[in-house]
């Protein structure tokens, strides 16, 4: 580190390119500093570095990282503290050019995700950070750089990477809360549940642009209806009680602004673990649940939507349906079939974000427009078949389609943000007021056949693959629009998805493997070697701004890539 300091001081006043000489590894006694990438000029993406501490010095007890879940929680805790102290500290000269003097680490949201920002192995803990090497114009500010790299960054590391300097009770609680959520999610299936919302949970969020919990006297803690309350013993917290949503078809009903969509939103996010204090630590959903919505304008490539849409005008084949500009109904049908292809066992739908003509045709409309002139088989006529034939449950927020009461196993009414089991009342209404509509489903709903991506259309130059926020990926000359993939929650996940697609085309897209198998192979590599494996950089230079996505979101991104090509071989079709 003294050598690095002297070198940086000697560069003071030189041209910016002189910074290239600082790339390398440096010992700080109790830590090692790696400068892996040096930016070309003050306005280029910042330089990348890592700081590493061996466990013999860090002092973290092995029980805090003894399982994958605990390791992810520990990494998350350290990343959050590193970020917090960076924001609170003075990292450099504000008059420097570009982002000179700014030190950064990946920002974490309310979810606890597997990130590359912090790496914990059996031997060491490592934080990956960025730093804008300071300059005035394009002249090196060597003294400021020396302070940043030999004093400021090591100072933050000392306060966050040594166990003795952390609030141990907060760290242990963080790890145990995450572990309890993972255990709770794993315990759902054996109890016949697809979701659980603990009593006392705070589901409303601060605002439409903030995912933090709502606070204040108006907040209503969640309380299960007595008939739906179940108890589960967690490894750290002990016994907890809450509302269990069983496998089946569940309706969430109620007046406007009474909490229907808030509950559904919590179930969407329940596929992830949350930090202590989020309010949703006991709101968990089966890990493969997928939110379904209409998505006008999306591209669809050879998806079998014939279970929902058939006999289109001009003889369009819905068994291998393709379009560059899907309608609300065709997009929602494709989204369901693609979710099934990804292995989803639970579909989440909101009437407000669905295509009305896809969800239902009432009796009067059936009398006016004969079935022979209507290509859509509405979802209401397939939802029971999804459950009984394919073992796929559904939770639907319904505000206006009373016919859905006739296909539901459970009806939950939200009133002033409190749930009530009104299944009995709903069945009485069905008995007293028989519906006028007739079931329109014809044929059997089959599990979708494997779809095989072809190498053509992939493999762009690796440096032309990048993410922009949560909702957009640039893949060569194509853009992938993920605005309606509601369960992507972090820009770092989107960055990881971009790299995963590139990696998949380079390694596994061969025109033989189904898309699901391609993604599974990538996830196996990640499970074995970590998210670093999909980075386009040489080993040791991995970015610290990736976070783990689910299989469902990876496949959703593949399906929205406009250059993707799918095999149309009819021998791939699966029937039952």
What is the tens place of the pLDDT at every residue in 273-327? 999 999 999 999 999 999 999 999 999 999 999 999 998 877 788 999 999 999 9
Residue boundaries of the structural domains of the chain? 2-166, 462-572
240 contact partners, CB below 8 Å, separation of at least 6: 184, 198, 199, 231, 232, 233, 234, 282
SS3 state at 385: helix
Q: What percent of the chain has pLDDT over 90?
A: 84
Contact residues for 215 (Cβ-Cβ < 8 A; gap 6+): 206
Distance CA 274, CA 182 (A): 10
Closest CA to 50 of 125, 113, 110: 125
Query: Is the separation of the CB atoms in 476 and 465 below 8 Å?
Result: yes
pLDDT greater than 60 at residue 463: no
pLDDT tier at 576, thresholds 50, 70, 90: very low
d(CA 180, CA 271): 14
Cα 211-212-215 angle, rounded to 5 deg: 135
C-alpha to C-alpha distance for 16 and 44, rounded to whole angstroms: 11
Least confident of 347-351, 363-367, 550-554, 565-569: 565-569
Residue range 351-369: mean pLDDT, rounded: 92
Q: What is the pLDDT of residue 316?
A: 80
Place of tokens 């597997």: 114
For residue 361, pLDDT over 70 is answered with: yes
Statement: the pTM of the whole predicted model exceeds 0.75: yes
CB 210 within 8 A of CB 165: no
Write down the pLDDT at residue 538: 55
DSSP 240-302: EEEEEEESSEEEEE-STTSSHHHHHHHHHHTTSEE-TTSS-TTEEE-TT-EEE---TT--EEE
Of 113, 489, 110, 75, nearest to 279 by C-alpha is 110
**DSSP single-letter state for residue 151:** I
Spatial separation of the C-alpha atoms in residues 36 and 28, rounded to whole Å: 16
CA distances from 363 to 253, 309, 375, 438 (A): 21, 19, 16, 7
Q: How far apart are the C-alpha atoms of 3 and 197, rounded to whole Å? A: 56
C-alpha span between 187 and 185 (Å, rounded): 5
Q: Is the pLDDT of residue 19 over 70?
A: yes
Confidence of residue 99 (pLDDT cuts 50, 70, 90): confident
Q: What is the DSSP string of 62-82?
A: GGGGSSHHHHHHHHHHHHHHH
pLDDT bin (cut points 50, 70, 90) of residue 27 is very high
Here the tokens at position 303 are: 């998806």
- Token pair 């053509």 is at which residue? 456
Average pLDDT, stretch 129-148? 95
Task: Lowest mean pLDDT of 58-62, 257-261, 346-350, name the range.
Answer: 257-261
CA nearest to 419, candidates 248, 155, 223, 265: 223
Q: Where are the beta strands (DSSP E) in 167-248?
A: 193-198, 205-207, 210-213, 229-234, 238-246
The better pLDDT of the pair 434, 533 is held by: 533
pLDDT in tens, 202-255: 999 999 889 999 999 989 999 999 999 999 999 999 999 999 999 999 999 999
What confidence score (pLDDT) does residue 311 get? 82
Q: Quick check: 404 and 398 in contact, CB under 8 A?
A: yes
């Amino acid at each position: 580190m003294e050598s690095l300091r002297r070198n940086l001081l000697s560069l003071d006043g030189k041209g910016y390119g002189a910074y290239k000489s600082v790339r390398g590894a440096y010992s700080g006694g109790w830590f090692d500093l790696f400068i892996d990438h040096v930016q070309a000029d003050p306005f280029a993406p910042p330089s990348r570095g890592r700081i590493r501490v061996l466990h013999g010095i860090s002092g973290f007890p092995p029980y805090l990282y003894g399982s994958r879940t605990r390791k992810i929680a520990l990494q998350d805790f350290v990343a959050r503290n590193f970020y917090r102290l960076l924001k609170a500290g003075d990292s450099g000269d504000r008059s420097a050019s570009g982002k000179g003097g700014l030190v950064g680490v990946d920002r974490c949201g309310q979810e606890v995700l597997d990130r590359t920002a912090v790496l914990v192995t059996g031997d060491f803990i490592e934080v990956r950070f960025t730093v804008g090497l300071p300059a005035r114009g394009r002249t090196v500010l060597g003294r400021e750089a020396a302070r940043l790299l030999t004093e400021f960054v090591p100072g933050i590391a000392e306060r966050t990477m040594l166990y003795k300097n952390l609030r141990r009770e907060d760290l242990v609680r963080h790890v145990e809360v995450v572990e309890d959520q993972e255990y709770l999610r794993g315990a759902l299936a054996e109890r016949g549940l697809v979701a659980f919302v603990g009593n006392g949970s705070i589901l409303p969020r601060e605002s439409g642009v903030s995912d933090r919990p709502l606070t204040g006297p108006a907040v209503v803690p969640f309380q299960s209806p007595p008939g739906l309350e179940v108890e589960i013993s967690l490894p750290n917290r002990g016994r907890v009680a809450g509302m269990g949503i069983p496998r089946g078809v569940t309706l969430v009903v109620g007046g406007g602004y009474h909490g229907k969509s808030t509950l559904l939103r919590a179930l969407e996010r329940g596929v992830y673990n949350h930090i202590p204090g989020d309010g949703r630590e006991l709101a968990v959903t089966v890990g493969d649940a997928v939110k379904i919505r209409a998505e006008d304008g999306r591209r669809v490539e050879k998806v079998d939507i014939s279970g929902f849409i058939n006999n289109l005008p001009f003889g369009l084949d819905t068994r291998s349906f393709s379009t560059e500009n899907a309608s609300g109904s065709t997009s929602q049908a494709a989204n369901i079939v693609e979710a099934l292809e990804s292995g989803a066992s639970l579909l989440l739908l909101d009437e407000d974000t669905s295509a009305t003509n896809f969800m239902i045709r009432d009796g009067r409309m059936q009398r006016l427009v004969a079935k022979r002139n209507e290509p859509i088989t509405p979802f209401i006529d397939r939802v029971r078949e999804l459950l009984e034939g394919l073992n796929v449950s559904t939770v639907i927020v319904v505000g206006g389609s009373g016919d859905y009461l006739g296909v539901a196993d459970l009806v939950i009414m939200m009133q002033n943000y409190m749930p009530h089991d009104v299944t009995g009342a709903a069945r009485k209404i069905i008995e007293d007021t028989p519906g006028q509509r007739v079931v329109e489903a014809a044929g059997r709903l089959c599990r979708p056949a494997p779809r095989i991506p072809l190498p053509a259309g992939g493999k762009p130059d690796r440096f032309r693959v990048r993410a922009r926020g949560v909702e957009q990926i640039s893949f060569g000359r194509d853009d992938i629009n993920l605005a309606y993939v509601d369960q992507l929650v972090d820009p770092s996940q989107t960055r990881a998805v971009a790299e995963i697609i590139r990696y998949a085309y380079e390694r596994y897209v061969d025109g033989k493997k189904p898309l699901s198998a391609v993604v599974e192979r990538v996830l196996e590599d990640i499970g074995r070697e970590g998210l670093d494996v999909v980075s386009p950089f040489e080993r040791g230079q991995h970015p610290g701004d990736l976070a783990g996505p689910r299989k469902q979101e990876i496949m959703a991104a593949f399906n929205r890539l406009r250059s993707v090509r799918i095999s149309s071989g009819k021998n791939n079709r699966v029937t039952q």
